[in-house]
Structure 1
Amino acid sequence: MTIRKLIIAGALAFTASGAALAWQAAPQSPAVQEAHSRLLPLQGGQNFRDLGGYRTRDGRTVRWGVLFRSGAMNGLMPTDFAYLGKLGIRTVCDFRSTQERNAAPVRWPGNMTPKILADDYRMDMAGLDFSNAAGWTGEQARAAMASSYPRILEQFNGQYRRMFEQLLAGHVPLAFNCSAGKDRTGVAAALILTALDVPRETVVEDYLLSNRYFDPKKAVVGDGAAMQAWSKLPPQVLQALTGVDRSYIEAVFRVIDAHPGGAKGYLRDRLGLGRTELARLRQRYTE
């Protein structure tokens, strides 16, 4: 089985007998000092975080309890659903592929199922070729991941636009997720925080929190052959593939900054967020 097939199968984790990664904690800047309360207390949650509390450039604060980012929710327990029910989550934007959703279905209790938005597509790891990953260095793996991020930005543009449409319509609290809650979800969170005028470095720090809160032991893995192939990857390559690095999200910001008009132009032209829409988002989701 190729490494590409392994990852498509959802194996964004170590094998059960593999060594754990030495995760790098995100910087303890004022922007993320409240990170301990940012992670939701869910027994079966995966990287499930509140985007509230971040300061914007004009001194406002992103509202708590309305914008949530997460990994796959298939591990949620009855007590977790009860907790989320108290939060009143109305909308979930699930960025996972058809195969990922089928492999790890989420069974919300019938009386509290939110509106779930998802597209049917086949995951291609943003065009990455992992056939030679076993021979990569950590630097090569990080470079490969960084090169894939601009394609994530493009491939999921339609789903990101739809997410913003839900936010503009006030269909919140809203949660958005992929499998690990770090790549597709990380780009989505960066776009939301940028639209809310949160400083760039704060956005990057929120992105890097996945190194602390993504739990590979909770990830859906493939069959025995897939797990065996995954276990043969060098530790530095595993860390690059299952973690996050600022170079990944900076590759997204290079695309955004190069757009005519920079971030404002990108939000307007690619996501339908002109001056009026941005003002509405900031009025609704900052205080």
Structure 2
Amino acid sequence: MKKYILLGAISMPVLAAAQLADSTQRLVRMQGAINFRDAGGYATKDGKQVTWGKVYRSADVSHLTDADLQTFRNRHIISVIDFRGTKESAAAPDRLPEGTKYLLSPAGSDSLPNMQQMAAMIKQTGFLQTMYGSPSVKYYGERYRPLFQQLLTLPDTAAIMYHCTGGRDRTGMATALFLYALGVPQTTIEADFTASNVYLAPMHAQMFTMMSKATGMQPEQIKKEMELRPELLQSFFSALAAQYGTVENFMEKELGVGPKEVAILRSKYTK
């Protein structure tokens, strides 16, 4: 994995490369999972830092090894939220330490296109713009509310992890909302988001090849359509603001995170 991080960072914008510089601390080395990382360490606009070791994100965790399960325990992860759809999660159930609290939060995921449908949408371009834009806003409240409600009540000695299949889109939006609530600058949030392009490089290469065969498009064309870009998160936040007036209004109405709860989150997850 490390060689992909170093090679990928060369071609990434300076800010994203800087984000990857802390990967030895941020990236949790798992034998049976990729893109498993700590959301801590980022500076906030008011001069604080997001606390390390409290909030984790990941791709699929159905193949964790016994050693990985011990890593889970060592990091005091007591709760896991799964953003995959019902069939998607049933096809690859999470492997977690006994006693871990597990919650499936699938809103909108059961509506995601299959490979053939996705291939057709990619040919028309704009697949990810639809996923991050106004057509998907109706799912965000139901999908992400359980995460924020658990973040508000998570014991100080415990940690939480959330994931989807690739740990990049649904998981990336969740992380963006979490960091936004803590007052992390937008450019930093975008750098964390696009870093999945590097952490997932091996998986992306395989996925782009499969999509190329399904669409007849060149892998580079697929890559251009499917790589994560800052503009996607900008569309995500813009869609929330267009629907609710502000991102803060969305968070208060749909996630139950108003000014009082924001203060709680910042007290719990920054220092």
Alpha-carbon offset, residue 31 of structure 1: 4.8
Structure 1 residue 267 and structure 2 residue 267: aligned?
A: no
Counterpart of 2:22, as a letter, is E
- Percent identical pairs in the alignment equals 31
Equivalent residue number for residue 61 of structure 1: 49
CA contact (8 A) 2:137 2:240 kept: no
Given the superposition, is the C-alpha separation of residues 152 and 175 from structure 1 closer, same or farther in structure 2, using an over 3 Å criterion?
A: farther
Aligned to 2:129: 146
Correspondence for 1:213: 199
Root mean square deviation of aligned Cα: 3.0
Q: Aligned-pair distance for 1:106?
A: 2.0
Partner of 2:223: 239
Could you tell me which residue of structure 1 aligns to residue 183 of structure 2? 197
- TM-score, with length taken from structure 2: 0.82
Checking the alignment, whether the CA contact within 8 Å between 1:126 and 1:152 is kept in structure 2 is no
**Among 161, 173, 187, which residue is 2:159 paired with?**
173
How has the CA–CA distance of structure 1 residues 26 and 91 changed in structure 2, closer, same or farther, with 3 Å as cutoff? farther
- TM-score between the two structures when normalised by the length of structure 1: 0.78
CA distance in 2, matches of 1:117, 1:73: 14
- Of the structure 1 ranges 182-191 and 38-47, higher mean CA displacement relative to structure 2 is found in 38-47
Corresponding residue to 1:125 among 107, 112, 123: 112
Look up the equivalent residue of 1:209 and give its one-letter code: A
Give CA-to-partner distance per residue, 1:60-99, whole Å, 9 cap, x none: 0000000111111012211111111100101101001111
Which stretch of the first structure deviates more once superposed, 173-182 or 235-244?
235-244
State the Cα distance separating 1:176 from its structure 2 match. Answer: 0.6
Q: 1:26 and 1:177, CA in 2 relative to 1: closer, same or farther beyond 3 A?
A: farther
- 2:52 is paired with a residue whose SS is coil
The aligned amino acid for 2:32 is G
Unaligned ranges ≥5, structure 2? 1-6
| Aligned residue identity for 1:263 | V
**Is the contact between residue 133 and residue 233 of structure 1 (CA under 8 Å) also seen in structure 2?**
no
Residues 241 and 109 of structure 1: is their aligned pair in 2 closer, same or farther, counting only changes over 3 Å?
farther
Once structures 1 and 2 are overlaid, which stretch shifts more, 266-275 or 46-55? Answer: 266-275
Alpha-carbon distance, 1:273 to partner: 1.0
CA 41–194 in structure 1, closer or farther in 2 if over 3 Å, else same: same
Aligned to 1:36: 24
Aligned residues: 255
My pick for the range that moved more, 247-256 or 212-221, is 212-221
Counterparts of 1:41-120 in structure 2 under 5 Å? 41-110=29-98, 113-119=99-105
Compare the two structures and name the one with the higher helix fraction: 2
1:107 shift after superposition? 2.4
Tell me the amino acid that sits aligned with residue 189 of structure 2: V
Question: Partners in 1 of 2:225 and 2:73 — Cα distance?
Answer: 33
